[in-house]
């Protein structure tokens, strides 16, 4: 029974090798579903059915103002979400909802991933820190925007499983994922060895902005983070600036203009074990 459950929770393997090497300047057609599918089949060797679903969700992301510039549109279109969901959820990969990925956590829904990523709008070469690697989908998406992606996951078996997903995809030709640097740790304390970061994206909910993350954000850096009580967070854009007097100030705005979005909790490592959360 345990073996069967472990199998069910594994992401499904990629079906075909990528026929054309990754090119930062290569962009699929965005204005026509059939042209997009044909280009992606020829250049990325992906499944036409999933590609059609990816394009249909793309139109919804634009209609809901979750994607608004071409670099971020390209990053969404180039990322095979079907490779990061678990086998039982394969047919739901492009649905609007977040989905269970095992270990009591989820892959964030495509609209939230798009809006949060476009809000920080990483530029190539910028250092981006993600807290909560989870399925690996968000970092894969980020690796189409910058070659400096750092991601921390607290759940060790999930961290290891996602490592296997990346290894399999890199072997098939998704070489952009080899730039993702990951560690299994408590992300509350950031990753000082690689700080400062231009952008930080937090994918778990907490009732305050962790001071270490704010400290590791560069001046003029941008963080996006779900803040609020359990199950009722507001996704905040946090901008840190430094005045002429050297003093830092922080401006916060709600990227959903007051709407509540649920995220899994920002948990805490104590004596090597996950115990409680970082919310006060």
Ligand X SMILES: C[S@@+](CC[C@H](N)C(=O)[O-])C[C@H]1O[C@@H](n2cnc3c(N)ncnc32)[C@H](O)[C@@H]1O
Decide if residue 264 touches ligand X (CB under 6 A): yes
Does residue 114 belong to the site contacting ligand X (CB under 6 A)? Answer: no
Alpha-carbon distance of 204 to 227, in angstroms, equals 9
Residue of 18, 78, 85, 105 interacting with ligand X (CB under 6 A): 105
Tokens describing residue 104? 């009591």
If one asks whether residue 116 binds ligand X (CB under 6 A), the answer comes out as: no
| 237 φ, ψ (degrees, to nearest 5) | -95, 125
Can you tell me which of 118, 203, 216, 233 binds ligand X, judged by CB under 6 A? 203
Q: In the window 223-242, what residues touch ligand X (CB under 6 A)?
A: none
Q: How many helices (H) and strands (E) does the chain have?
A: 8, 11
- Tell me, by CB under 6 A, how many residues bind ligand X: 24
CB contact set of 76 (below 8 Å; sequence gap of 6+): 54, 58, 61, 67, 110, 114, 141
State which residue, 47 or 153, has the beta carbon closest to ligand X.
153
Binding to ligand X by residue 14, rule CB under 6 A?
A: no
Phi, psi of 256 (to 5 degrees): -110, 15
Contact criterion met (CB below 8 Å) for 66 and 108: no
Min CB(90)–ligand X separation in Å: 15
Site membership for ligand X, residue 110 (CB under 6 A): no
Among 28, 102, 110, 187, binds ligand X (CB under 6 A): 187
Q: Give me the least distance between CB of 242 and ligand X, in Å please.
A: 27
Choose between 39 and 141: whose C-beta lies nearer to ligand X: 141
Site for ligand X in 124-183 (CB under 6 A): 131-132, 134-135, 137-138, 152-155, 158
- Is position 197 an interface residue for ligand X (rule: CB under 6 A)? no
Residue 131 or 149: the one with the smaller Cβ distance to ligand X is 131
107 counts as binding ligand X under rule CB under 6 A: yes
CB of 111 to ligand X, least distance (A): 13
Q: Which two tokens stand for residue 35?
A: 């042209």
Cis ω before 196 (30° cut-off from 0): yes
DSSP, collapsed to helix, strand or coil, labels residue 16 as coil
Instruction: Measure the CA–CA gap between 172 and 166, rounded to whole angstroms.
Output: 10
Q: Cα 157 from chain centroid?
A: 18
Phi, then psi, of 19 in degrees rounded to 5: -75, -25
Asked if 188 interacts with ligand X (CB under 6 A), we say: yes
Q: What are phi and psi of 91, to 5 degrees?
A: -70, -10
Distance CA(183)–CA(156), nearest Å, equals: 9
List interacting residues with ligand X (CB under 6 A). 105-108, 131-132, 134-135, 137-138, 152-155, 158, 186-188, 203-204, 263-264, 266-267
């Amino acid at each position: 029974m345990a073996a069967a459950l472990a199998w069910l929770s594994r992401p499904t393997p990629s079906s075909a090798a990528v026929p054309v090497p990754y090119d930062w300047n290569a962009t699929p057609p965005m204005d026509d579903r059939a042209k997009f599918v044909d280009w992606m089949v020829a250049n990325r060797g992906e499944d036409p059915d999933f590609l059609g679903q990816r394009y249909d969700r793309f139109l919804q992301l634009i209609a809901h103002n979750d994607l608004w510039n071409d670099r971020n549109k390209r990053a969404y279109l180039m990322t095979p979400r079907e490779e990061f969901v678990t086998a039982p959820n394969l047919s739901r990969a492009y649905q609007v909802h977040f989905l269970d990925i095992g270990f009591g956590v989820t892959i964030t829904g495509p609209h939230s991933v798009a809006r949060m990523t476009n809000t920080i709008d990483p530029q190539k070469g910028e250092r981006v820190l993600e807290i909560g690697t989870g399925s690996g989908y968000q970092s894969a998406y980020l690796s189409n925007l910058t070659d400096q992606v750092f991601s921390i996951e607290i759940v060790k078996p999930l961290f290891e499983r996602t490592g296997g997903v990346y290894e399999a995809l890199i072997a098939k030709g998704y070489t952009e994922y080899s730039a993702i640097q990951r560690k299994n740790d408590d992300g509350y304390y950031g990753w000082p060895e690689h700080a400062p970061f231009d952008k930080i994206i937090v994918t778990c909910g907490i009732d305050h902005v962790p001071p270490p993350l704010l400290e590791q954000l560069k001046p003029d850096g941008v963080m996006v983070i779900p803040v609020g009580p359990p199950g009722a967070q507001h996704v905040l854009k946090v901008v840190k600036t430094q005045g002429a007097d050297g003093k830092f100030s922080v401006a916060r705005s709600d990227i959903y203009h007051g709407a509540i979005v649920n995220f899994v909790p920002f948990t805490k490592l104590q004596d090597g074990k996950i115990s409680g959360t970082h919310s006060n």
